[in-house]
Amino acid sequence: MAEASLAQLAVVALALVAAGFVRGAIGFGSNLVLIPVLVWLIEPRLAVAIAVLPSLAATPVILYRLGLARQDVGRFWPLLLTLGVGTVGGAYLLVALSAAAIARIVGALAIVFVALSVLKLQPTVPPDRERYATPVAGLVCGLIAGASNVHGPAVATYLHSLRLDKRAFVVAFTLVFLVTGLTQLASYAALGLYTPPVLLASLLACLPSVVGTRLGVQAQQHLRGQWFNRLVLAVIFLSGLRLVLR
């Protein structure tokens, strides 16, 4: 990355702004924009490591702009708790299972979910079942995160099945990214991925990410609920397709 030209750095900066915009607008999907651009310049492992800090930097921006209410934490803490436990357990599955196979399965299920939604056959979780389903969903998504780092489509699919309004959806996903991001940050640091140049690149990437996130949150507040749902389904589909084809 140190040898990148000004034009390449400009493309990366624009990708960071675009990724932050997507994250602020619908709560997820930033890596779908950012990672392919970073991989253009550096190896995938370092690209994923660099992307963690910009994602975490976007978190306080979203929570400040949308507000974090007590009922948000009360509703989603079981998801966050089991997500953390599942992420640790998923790391052990990584040595026993194929991460690529897990990614393809998650991608295929995401595409099926979108297809069912388009056909008005979308599975939903009734309010009286949410308290039982949420911890299980968190555990499953955590296992996927720990084993393959492709939990975004799975989390989006579950949150969408709750029929959340756009604010609650984005806030819930932001809390999920906070838990998984901190876990990834600690894990990658322990693995020695954050050398001084990589850490510096990740810190510098935070500024354009925050700018894009602020713009995305502003745009999200003007989105009608129907268009918000369509964008969420589109990103779930693209994420699932990318996983299946990778």
Q: What span, in angstroms and rounded, lies between the C-alpha atoms of 145 and 32?
A: 15
84, 101, 156, 161, 215 from 150: Cα distances, Å? 15, 11, 11, 19, 25
Tokens of 122: 């979308």
pTM exceeding the 0.85 threshold for the entire prediction: no
Q: What span, in angstroms and rounded, lies between the C-alpha atoms of 121 and 134?
A: 21
Average pLDDT, the chain: 86
Which residues lie closer than 8 Å to 126 by C-beta, 6 or more apart? Answer: none
Determine the Cα angle at 37 with ends 35 and 42, to 5°: 85
- Predicted local confidence at residue 1, as pLDDT: 53
Higher pLDDT, 214 or 93: 214
Instruction: Identify the residue whose tokens are 């699919």.
Output: 157
Instruction: Identify the residue whose tokens are 């990740």.
Output: 202
pLDDT in tens, 215-239: 999 998 888 888 888 888 898 898 8
pLDDT in tens, 141-154: 888 877 766 778 88
Angle between helices 127-148 and 70-93 (to 10 degrees): 40
Alpha helices in the chain (DSSP H): 6-26, 30-39, 44-66, 70-93, 99-118, 127-148, 152-161, 166-190, 196-204, 206-220, 225-245
CA torsion, points 128, 74, 170, 60, in degrees to nearest 10? -170
Residue 245 buriedness (CB in 10 A; 0-12 / 13-18 / 19+)? exposed
Higher pLDDT, 81 or 113: 81
